[in-house]
């Protein structure tokens, strides 16, 4: 591949049509793409050319069904990096939309929304400290235990891939109001890259809430308690991300009004501490 | 969510949340066009099917690459389809085969490509708009887009300077766009 000489704006403009039709060599394409990153006008022109090309190609017709089977069978090959990028978008309160059960917001609206809501440190930190003192910390490395969770039908291929990643841990959440209780309300699976899942697939886990309530996930980072997202009224397996706030030492789940709260005044229904 | 009632943009958001029915709906809406374009460029089913699968798997893995501000989902998917198809066409083996028959094919390419374009283009208005373009604008576009040629290759095939072909592709696309807009043709797959 030859490296083209630097091109002027006018020279790149002349290439836009050919570029949009993939009719330039890779080196020239790279030069054009670099220019497009900083030139709104040229980027808009390429978008217009793509629309015209799309119209030329638009033959419609029904897609081959067998091809979809092939696509669906390969969805599990998603990379963990890709999952991380997407999971970063999941930390907005979505009340179950992550599982396809709620409204879907446009991409840019999702990006504009606040990533996390900071709450007071006292409530959950105190509860977590109490749990740590009285019940001890229950943290299990997955290894052989991950297989049962991976087999859960609700998990997509991407989630299964994340679970299989090295360094993934499971944090068992306990009910602080029922010290010593055998049943665990929920489990958190946390990958080394900061992607996590709240798992409530047990019959004796988090009970379904009324429609005007929601479970809310919190994380304690140092002296701060941050909201990690809404889990909905009856969460099954809900992904979240702490990639932007590493160092979460404690997770807690509270029962809140629908829409969630900035600062909780309720006792956690489940708390678990991450092994240092 | 009711995927059948969702806009293309919202489907992509749901795809970003690993909601497989959303990807299935995207495939239902646009899979036919994607496969037809790949088939048209590659002229063979196995590689066209592979390209089609890769296009939808790419959307599954990297939905953030689709920017609704930049155009419709269909044009995005078709652009990805075209790029992947052209990559296959330009693979070293294909290049060698093409070089061996360049002289012979140059004489017949216009007929073959014309026939394929007209046989497989469904939208009559698009066909009319393409047909209304002067030959010197239309031929470079067809050879580049449906033939997977670089503009330099098109220049050789049509015995024209590279700069001329480059300009004609650009101006031809611009003319085509204006004509389509005048006829009220909206971009394909604008969503619900």
Nearest to B120 among A43, A59, A100 (CB): A59
Nearest to A58 among B33, B49, B70 (CB): B33
Give B79's Cβ-side CA count (13 Å radius). Answer: 25
The single residue listed with the structure tokens 């095939």 is B157
Same domain, B112 and B174: yes
Number of domains in chain B: 2
Q: In a 3-state reduction of DSSP, which class is residue B133?
A: coil
Domain boundary among B62, B89, B116: B89
Q: Given an 8 Å threshold on Cβ–Cβ distance, is B145 in contact with A97?
A: no
What is chain B's mean pLDDT, rounded? 79
Full-prediction pTM beyond 0.80?
Answer: no
Nearest to A14 among B16, B75, B167 (CB): B167
Please report, for residues A15, A260, B6, B69, B187, the alpha-carbon distance to residue A57 in angstroms, rounded to integers and kept in the order given: 21, 46, 24, 21, 11
**Of the listed ranges A7-11, A238-242, B128-132, the one predicted with least confidence:** A238-242
Cα separation, A236 vs A101, in Å, equals: 11
Q: Which residue of B has its CA nearest to A86?
A: B16
Q: Which residue has the higher pLDDT, B81 or A147?
A: B81
Q: pLDDT value at position A161?
A: 59
Same domain, B29 and B44: yes
Query: How far is CA B171 from its chain centroid?
Result: 18
Cα separation, A84 vs B118, in Å, equals: 45
Same domain, B164 and B181: yes
**Chain B interface, mutation test: which of A16, A39, A55, A103, most B Cβ atoms within 10 Å?**
A55
Average pLDDT over residues A243-266: 81
Dump pLDDT digits (tens) for B23-74: 988 998 888 889 988 988 888 888 899 999 999 999 988 888 888 777 889 8
Cα separation, A237 vs A233, in Å, equals: 12
- pLDDT of A238 above 70: yes
Please report, for residues A11, B97, B101, B155, B169, the alpha-carbon distance to residue B162 in angstroms, rounded to integers and kept in the order given: 13, 23, 21, 5, 11
* Residues within 8 A of B (CB atoms), A 66-105 only: 67-68, 70-72, 74-75, 77-79, 82, 85-86, 89-90, 94, 97-105
Same domain, B53 and B128: no
**Chain A interface, mutation test: which of B17, B166, B171, most A Cβ atoms within 10 Å?**
B17
The pair of three-digit structure tokens given for residue A4, joined into one six-digit string: 């083209």
Q: How far apart are the first and last CA of chain B?
A: 15
Q: pLDDT value at position A201?
A: 65
Average pLDDT over residues A258-274: 83
Average pLDDT over residues B75-104: 73
- pLDDT of A102 above 80: no
Nearest to B20 among A56, A57, A156 (CB): A156
Provide the phi-psi class of A139: left if phi over 0, else alpha when psi is between -120 and 50, else beta.
Answer: beta
Average pLDDT over residues B173-185: 82
Shortest Cα–Cα distance, A159 to chain B (Å): 8
Q: In a 3-state reduction of DSSP, which class is residue A242?
A: coil
What ipTM was reported for this prediction?
0.75
Same domain, B118 and B155: yes
Q: In a 3-state reduction of DSSP, which class is residue B16?
A: helix
Q: Given an 8 Å threshold on Cβ–Cβ distance, is A51 in contact with B71?
A: yes
CATH number at residue B132: 1.10.10.10
* Residues within 8 A of B (CB atoms), A 17-46 only: 17-18, 20-25, 43
Shortest Cα–Cα distance, B55 to chain A (Å): 10
pLDDT band at A123 (very low <50, low <70, confident <90, very high): very low
Q: Given an 8 Å threshold on Cβ–Cβ distance, is A71 in contact with B70?
A: no
Domain boundary among B68, B89, B110: B89
Q: Given an 8 Å threshold on Cβ–Cβ distance, is B32 in contact with A18?
A: no
Same domain, B27 and B79: yes
Same domain, B83 and B110: no
Same domain, B139 and B46: no
Q: pLDDT value at position A137?
A: 27
Q: pLDDT value at position B92?
A: 52
Cα separation, A231 vs B7, in Å, equals: 25
Same domain, B18 and B110: no
Same domain, B105 and B187: yes
Q: Which residue of B has its CA nearest to A106?
A: B10
Dump pLDDT digits (tens) for A34-54: 999 889 899 999 988 988 888
- pLDDT of B100 above 80: no
Q: pLDDT value at position B119?
A: 38
Kindly list the residues from chain B whose CB atom is less than 8 angstroms away from the CB atom of residue A62. Answer: 32
Q: pLDDT value at position B168?
A: 95
Domain boundary among B44, B64, B89: B89
- pLDDT of B117 above 50: no
What is chain A's mean pLDDT, rounded? 67
Same domain, B8 and B48: yes
Q: Which residue has the higher pLDDT, B148 or B104?
A: B148
Query: CB burial class (10 A; 0-12, 13-18, 19+) of residue A185?
Result: buried
pLDDT band at A184 (very low <50, low <70, confident <90, very high): confident
Asked whether the beta carbons of A71 and B22 are under 8 A apart, the reply is no
Residue A275: count of CB within 10 angstroms of its CB: 11
Q: Which residue has the higher pLDDT, A170 or B174?
A: B174
- Domain coverage including residue B57: 1-89
Radius of gyration of chain A (CA): 24
Q: pLDDT value at position A178?
A: 74
Cα separation, A203 vs A3, in Å, equals: 62
Q: Directed axis angle between helix B73-89 and helix B45-61, to 10°?
A: 130
CATH number at residue B34: 1.10.1740.10
Q: Given an 8 Å threshold on Cβ–Cβ distance, is A64 in contact with B16?
A: no
């Amino acid at each position: 591949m030859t490296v083209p000489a630097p091109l002027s704006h006018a020279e790149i403009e002349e290439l836009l049509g050919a570029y949009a039709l993939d009719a330039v060599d890779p080196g020239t394409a790279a030069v054009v793409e670099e220019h497009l990153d900083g030139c709104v006008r040229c980027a808009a022109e390429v978008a217009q050319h793509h629309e015209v090309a799309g119209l030329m190609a638009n033959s419609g017709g029904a897609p081959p069904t067998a091809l979809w089977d092939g696509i669906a069978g390969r969805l599990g090959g998603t990379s963990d990096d890709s999952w991380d990028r997407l999971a970063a978008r999941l930390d907005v309160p979505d009340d179950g939309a992550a599982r396809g059960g709620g409204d879907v917001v446009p991409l840019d609206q999702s990006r504009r929304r606040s990533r996390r809501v900071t709450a007071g440190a006292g409530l959950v930190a105190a509860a977590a400290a109490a749990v740590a003192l009285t019940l001890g910390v229950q943290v299990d490395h997955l290894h052989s235990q991950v297989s049962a969770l991976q087999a859960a039908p609700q998990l997509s291929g991407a989630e299964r891939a994340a679970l299989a990643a090295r360094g993934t841990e499971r944090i068992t959440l306990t009910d602080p109001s029922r010290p010593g209780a055998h049943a665990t309300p929920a489990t958190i699976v946390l990958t080394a890259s900061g992607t996590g899942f709240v798992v409530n697939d047990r019959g004796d886990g988090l009970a379904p809430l009324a429609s005007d309530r929601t479970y809310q996930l919190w994380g304690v980072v140092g002296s701060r308690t941050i909201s990690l997202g809404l889990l909905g009224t009856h969460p099954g397996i809900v992904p979240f991300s702490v990639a932007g706030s590493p160092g979460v030492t404690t997770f807690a789940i509270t029962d809140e009004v629908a829409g969630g709260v900035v600062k909780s005044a309720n006792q956690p229904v489940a708390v678990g501490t991450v092994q240092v | 969510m009711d995927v059948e009632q969702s806009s293309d943009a919202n489907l992509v958001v749901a795809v970003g949340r690993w909601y497989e029915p959303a990807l299935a709906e995207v495939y239902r809406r646009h899979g036919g066009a994607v496969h037809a374009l790949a088939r048209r460029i590659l002229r063979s089913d196995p590689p066209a099917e592979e390209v089609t699968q890769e296009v939808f798997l790419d959307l599954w893995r990297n939905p953030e690459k689709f920017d609704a501000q930049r155009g419709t989902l269909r044009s995005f998917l078709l652009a990805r389809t075209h790029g992947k198809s052209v990559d296959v066409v330009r693979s070293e083996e294909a290049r060698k085969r093409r070089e061996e028959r360049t002289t012979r094919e140059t004489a017949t390419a216009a007929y073959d490509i014309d026939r394929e374009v007209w046989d497989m283009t469904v939208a009559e208005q698009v066909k009319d708009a393409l047909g209304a373009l002067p030959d010197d604008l239309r031929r470079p576009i067809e050879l580049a887009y449906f033939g997977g040629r670089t503009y330099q290759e098109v220049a050789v095939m049509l015995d024209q300077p590279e700069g001329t072909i480059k300009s004609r592709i650009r101006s031809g696309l611009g003319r085509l766009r204006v004509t389509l807009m005048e006829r009220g043709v909206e971009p394909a797959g604008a969503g619900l």
